[in-house]
Amino acid sequence: MSDLHDIDKKLIWHPFTSLVSEIEPILIQSAEGIYLTTDDGRKIIDAVSSWWVNIHGHSNPFIADAIAAQAKKLEHVIFAGFTHEPAITLAKNLISILPSNQAKIFFSDNGSTAVEVGLKMAYQFWYNQGIEKKKIVAIDGSYHGDTVGAMSVGERSPFTNAFSPLLFDVEFIDFPSADKEDYVVEQFKDIARQKNVGVFIFEPLVQGAAGMRMYSPAVLDRLIQIAQETNIICVADEVFTGFGRTGKLFASHYLKNKPDIIAVSKGITGGTMALGVTSCSDKIVKAFESSDVLKTFFHGHSYTANPIACAAANASFDLLMRDDCQQNIRHISSQHDNFKQKIKSHKTVKEVRNIGTIIAIELASQAGTSYFNDIRKKIYPFFLERNILLRPLGNVIYILPPYVIKEKELDAVYRCVEMFLESL
Ligand code: PMP
């Protein structure tokens, strides 16, 4: 097996990883349910759902069968001028659970592309009507992906420094934390009054990469209402929050006011295949329904609506809608609630935040929430040595397990977190 490590080191460039990193990647041979199995037989609990994608556990046999059957029937076909049943069924499935104003589905490959598509749709919505509304507004601390457009609407940070000159101008409003809601609403009102604002993009209720920062549905409803009153298109990035993560099928279901465009990915295939989807309302569609060919949405990827990915997503959808899955989500949520009560007053804890299947424990560290916070170097190995995969965001430890995790298994993760807090 060390051969594999050598070849990996020589040939592969891993994401978010220094090329002179001393740490060898862990070789995973197989995975089942919540467990990753290494080449030397260790079983590691995947308490972060492999970058938040896995919802039904690893190597889920129901999804695996759907993938295998589809691969033998139709693996791929160009999606311009052609269509297929898995994509049609998926569109129907998604429209049945997305907010009721969503009318059409556009396919891409991942979260960043789903966001890019959303931004381009919103931007061209105004262009097609000959209206000058070119300013985009986003929320401070946001993360929307790593492609240039998605980076532009995200927080400027050491991650984006090298590309600063390439990123387009975006106006950021402050993060609407509980103590700042009225201020941010006024701030947004001021910006929205400028006639050139066309798009408002946000991660509804939870900013994942910023350290699982959470804000209220009530303030987001107020912001969307202002956007609607001032004719600004709202793009909800539900790449992370979609498919049950926040306790409801989509975070947008906590809202009274519905976004015009929604980007999803991650949990869509249960974490098995790369797929992105951007949905939009009839209002958006109408701006593109034109005999003028120049009003077409000229965007597409080679693997658009890949049938195997769509089949995986349909199988994942069937599992998600089952009572046992919805019950698991509720159970994890209430277990998180109880754990929060237990540890929130611990001397090393600054704050515990939770919604649905997500819980985040912010440590009372001097260095703040930066990704480069040194405490991160302590947290990650502490848990791995105990066979739990937790990938902290700076001084924020978060747990967001696949929904199939059992009560005892989640308790074991909590116990390990308590041990860590005691060790500080
Ligand atoms: N939007 C949000 C809210 C995300 O959390 C992420 C990924 N963490 C993305 C977009 C980008 O998704 P991907 O990594 O699939 O490109």
At residue 47's C-alpha, the angle toward residues 209 and 369, to 5°, is 30
Q: Nearest 5°: phi and psi at 292?
A: -75, 110
Distance 115 CA to ligand 1 centre (A): 8
The residue-averaged pLDDT of 233-260 equals: 98
Distance 399 CA to ligand 1 centre (A): 17
Q: Measured between alpha carbons, how far is 101 from 94 in angstroms, rounded to an integer? A: 12
Query: Could you give the percent of the chain with pLDDT greater than 70?
Result: 98
Instruction: Identify residue 173 by its one-letter amino acid code.
Output: I
Please work out whether the CB of residue 238 comes within 6 Å of at least one atom of ligand 1. no
Please work out whether the CB of residue 244 comes within 6 Å of at least one atom of ligand 1. no
Instruction: Give whole-number Cα distances, 163 to 116, 147, 152, 157, in Å.
Output: 17, 11, 9, 10
Per-residue pLDDT band for 22 (boundaries 50, 70, 90) equals confident
- Bridge partners (DSSP) listed for residue 360: 353, 398
136-165 confidence digits (pLDDT tens):
999 999 999 999 999 999 999 999 999 999
119, 136 contact by CB (below 8 A): yes
Q: Which atom of ligand 1 is nearest to the CA of 276?
A: 15
Per-residue pLDDT band for 377 (boundaries 50, 70, 90) equals confident
Question: In 10 A of CB 370, how many CB atoms?
Answer: 15
Per-residue pLDDT band for 370 (boundaries 50, 70, 90) equals low
Per-residue pLDDT band for 331 (boundaries 50, 70, 90) equals very high
163-212 confidence digits (pLDDT tens):
999 999 999 999 999 999 999 999 999 999 998 999 999 999 999 999 99
The tokens for 6 are: 């050598």
232-246 confidence digits (pLDDT tens):
999 999 999 999 999
Give pLDDT, residue 368: 58
Please work out whether the CB of residue 265 comes within 6 Å of at least one atom of ligand 1. yes
Q: Measured between alpha carbons, how far is 10 from 51 in angstroms, rounded to an integer? A: 24
Please work out whether the CB of residue 107 comes within 6 Å of at least one atom of ligand 1. no
Give pLDDT, residue 70: 99
Q: Measured between alpha carbons, how far is 61 from 359 in angstroms, rounded to an integer? A: 28
- For ligand 1, atom 12, the nearest C-alpha belongs to 111
Q: Measured between alpha carbons, how far is 388 from 46 in angstroms, rounded to an integer? A: 6
The residue-averaged pLDDT of 58-64 equals: 98
Instruction: Identify residue 394 by its one-letter amino acid code.
Output: G
The tokens for 220 are: 């987001």
282-312 confidence digits (pLDDT tens):
999 999 999 999 999 999 999 999 999 999 9
261, 278 contact by CB (below 8 A): yes
The residue-averaged pLDDT of 64-80 equals: 98
The residue-averaged pLDDT of 364-369 equals: 66
Instruction: Choose between 372 and 11: higher pLDDT.
Output: 11
- For ligand 1, atom 13, the nearest C-alpha belongs to 111
Give pLDDT, residue 366: 59
Give pLDDT, residue 195: 87
The residue-averaged pLDDT of 99-116 equals: 98
Find the largest Cα–Cα distance for the chain: 67
Three-state SS for the chain is CHHHHHHHHHHCCCCCCCCCCCCCCCCEEEEEECEEEECCCCEEEECCHHHHCCCCCECCHHHHHHHHHHHHHCCCCCCCCCCCHHHHHHHHHHHHHCCCCEEEEEEECCHHHHHHHHHHHHHHHHHHCCCCCCEEEEECCCCCCCCHHHHHCCCCCCCCHHHHHHCCCCEEECCCCHHHHHHHHHHHHHHHHCCCEEEEEECCCEECCCCCEECCHHHHHHHHHHHHHCCCEEEEECCCCCCCCCCCCCHHHHCCCCCCEEEECHHHHCCCCCCEEEEEEHHHHHCCCCCCHHHCCCCCCCCCCCHHHHHHHHHHHHHHHCHHHHHHHHHHHHHHHHHHHHHCCCCCEEEEEEECCEEEEEECCCCCCCCCCCCHHHHHHHHHHCCEECCCECCEEEECCCCCCCHHHHHHHHHHHHHHHHHC
121-135 confidence digits (pLDDT tens):
999 999 999 999 999
Give pLDDT, residue 369: 57
Q: Which atom of ligand 1 is nearest to the CA of 53?
A: 15
236, 251 contact by CB (below 8 A): yes
Per-residue pLDDT band for 384 (boundaries 50, 70, 90) equals very high
Question: In 10 A of CB 248, how many CB atoms?
Answer: 17
Give pLDDT, residue 374: 77
Give pLDDT, residue 181: 98
376, 382 contact by CB (below 8 A): no
Distance 119 CA to ligand 1 centre (A): 14
The residue-averaged pLDDT of 324-343 equals: 98
Average model confidence (pLDDT) across the chain? 96
Using the predicted structure, report yes or no on whether residue 21 has a pLDDT greater than 90.
no
Q: Which atom of ligand 1 is nearest to the CA of 266?
A: 15
The tokens for 329 are: 């989500």
Please work out whether the CB of residue 144 comes within 6 Å of at least one atom of ligand 1. yes
Q: Measured between alpha carbons, how far is 338 from 344 in angstroms, rounded to an integer? A: 10
Using the predicted structure, report yes or no on whether residue 5 has a pLDDT greater than 60.
yes
Which distant-in-sequence residues (6+ apart) come within 8 Å of 173 by Cβ? 137, 138, 139, 140, 184, 187, 188, 191, 223
Give pLDDT, residue 312: 99
45, 413 contact by CB (below 8 A): yes
